[in-house]
Amino acid sequence: MRGMIIASLIIGMLLMLPVSFASASSSPQDVIPTLYENYSSGDDAAHNIYGVNWFGQTFNTSCAYSITQICLKMSRTASPGVVTVSIREVSSDVPVGGDLVSTTLNGNSFPTATSSFIAAAFDSECYLEAKKTYAIVVAAPYGDSSNYVKMRAVIDGTYPDGMYVSSDDGGYSWTNSTCDFLFKIYGIPALDMYSAKVFRSFSQSGDWLFVFTYGNFYSPYYGVDPPQSRFSFQLLDGSVVESQVPMSQWGYAPGSIYLSKSEADTLGWGQSYVIRMQSRFDSTIYVDYTLSSSDWIGEDMGALDSWVETQAKRIQEYYDVTLWEYYQRTWVLNDAGGAIFLIGIPGLDQIRPDLFKAKILAFQGTDQTFNNSYQESLINSSGNWTQKFDNVDDSFGAPHGLSAAVFWIIIAFACMGLVTASSRGDWVSGFVVSVLVLFIATLLGMFPIAAMAVFACFCAVLLLRKIWMTVG
């Protein structure tokens, strides 16, 4: 289990709006870019871009998204050469810092007689935060006063969320005015739901398992904050939340919601329920997936295997990593893929062990019951000894911290007993006293069984050594 979780962390490193999306797409690659920011009417002025004379336009994002393309209304005079278009952050209404993302265009191919919107597409992902100001920066560094790009603009622009900026020293310093360039900005959403299926009798007769894949790249939290602290998955019947679990992974990943038979019996099979990815920091930020009739599969676990295979291949294609591989005459999830799907769908390795290369917990053929607390345990660290000490205190009605203090006193007395007895030559008494005290601590849950075993073996070795020397 620990190895699979470590593998998932490695993949997570490779791998963040008042608006709601309803998506039928199957992966991020299938999403059609959306027009997010737009100021495209007017056109009564032009600015010449060449050499160190750079120009740009600031804008404010309506939501969080990955910018994929900017369209700018431009033309040319003669041969301006290479044109660079980039995005930068803004401070005090002007661009600052380096390019967040950039691309180049062939300015010599721009129209000359009339201006038109020319697309500048970005090959690299660049996720923009919601409600934050950025700047479009345009330069033609090899142009001159006879070979330049003409950027179309509106002199008295009315774009409410930004303004024209210019630099006459190659972007070192900037000034701004009330003019606005004409632009269109396209991107893909930072939140989306791609595929969902519902299975019945997953671990016990009559239970329901909702599985789905999603994308969550919501800046500035993506890859920085624990995902469960920022987003949850909800099962909605209208406006009623029937179930809720924390989101366990950032990026493009699988997720699930499990309902026991008693929970599922209150709902109707085949209904148009909604699976929602809901932010915990703003109720207006979410994305919905409405279940259709084809999403309700039933008890066919073979269909679950096929779904896992399909989604694993899509995820590995997106990240350009291997998650699904051929192993011992069959195709399975490797360690990295297994970790991603086990965290997203707790218990999957117990119910469908043949999907996994590493058979960590082989299913024994008996009914298993899973709930949201199991999903929480995969997300939060295990082995929290502070909590175990608190549990002991609670069982005896003692203040927190008392059992921890007693624990260390026990360790001290055990060690003292062993040393004192052995110094007097009474190894048997030292062995019995120490092991007995630690055995009691182990029964109380205050001392790890493994540590108890190691300590007992150590004492046994010393005892055997003493007996050997005595006999000798």
pLDDT digits (tens, 9 = 90+) for 45-59: 999 999 999 999 999
Q: Are residues 352 and 206 in the same domain?
A: yes
Q: Looking at the domain assignment, is residue 52 inside a domain?
A: yes
Asked if residue 390 and residue 369 are part of one domain, the reply reads no
pLDDT at 150: 96
d(CA 340, CA 418): 47
Residue 25 lies in a domain: no
Is the pLDDT confidence value at 290 over 50? Answer: yes
For residues 34 and 186, the answer to whether their CB atoms sit within 8 Å is yes
356 and 214 assigned to the same domain: yes
Q: Looking at 327, 347, 379, which one is the last position of a domain?
A: 379
Q: Is residue 21 part of a domain?
A: no
Distances from the Cα of 394 to the Cα of 311, 444, 449, angstroms: 45, 12, 21
Mean pLDDT, rounded, of the chain:
84
Overall domain count for the chain: 3
Average pLDDT over residues 241-259: 97
Domain containing 152 — which CATH number?
Answer: 2.60.120
Task: Let me know if residue 121 belongs to a domain.
Answer: yes
Over residues 460-464, the mean pLDDT reads 69
Statement to judge: residues 211 and 358 lie in one domain = yes
**The pLDDT of residue 297 is above 70:** yes
pLDDT recorded at residue 381: 40
Q: Are 183 and 118 in contact (CB under 8 A)?
A: no
State whether 266 and 166 are in the same domain: no
373 and 461 both lie in a single domain = no
Q: Looking at the predicted structure, is the pLDDT value of residue 215 above 70?
A: yes
Is 219 inside any structural domain? Answer: yes
Pair (324, 395) in one structural domain: no
Q: Pick the last residue of a domain from 189, 218, 242.
A: 189
Residues 320, 418 within the same domain: no
Q: For residue 295, what is the domain's CATH number?
A: 2.60.40.150
| pTM for the model | 0.68
CB 345 within 8 A of CB 254: yes
Q: 470 or 137, which is more confident?
A: 137
Reported as a single tens digit per residue, the pLDDT across 340-375 is 999 999 999 999 999 999 765 433 444 444 454 544
Task: Please give the share of the chain, as a percent, with pLDDT higher than 90.
Answer: 65
Q: Is residue 395 part of a domain?
A: yes
Q: Is residue 39 part of a domain?
A: yes
Residue 259 has pLDDT above 90, yes or no: yes
Mean pLDDT, rounded, for 134-146: 97
Express each pLDDT in 4-58 by its tens digit: 444 444 444 434 333 333 344 678 878 889 999 999 988 999 999 999 999 999 9
Note whether residue 226 is domain-resident: yes
Same domain as 202, residue 295: yes
Q: Does residue 420 share a domain with residue 371?
A: no
69: containing domain: 30-189
Contacts of 467 (CB under 8 A, 6+ apart): none
Q: Write down the pLDDT at residue 194.
A: 94
Query: Alpha-carbon distance 141 to 205, whole Å?
Result: 69
pLDDT above 70 as % of the chain? 71
Distances from the Cα of 177 to the Cαs of 133, 167, 172, 184, in angstroms? 16, 12, 17, 20
Q: Which of 189, 209, 235 is the last residue of a domain?
A: 189
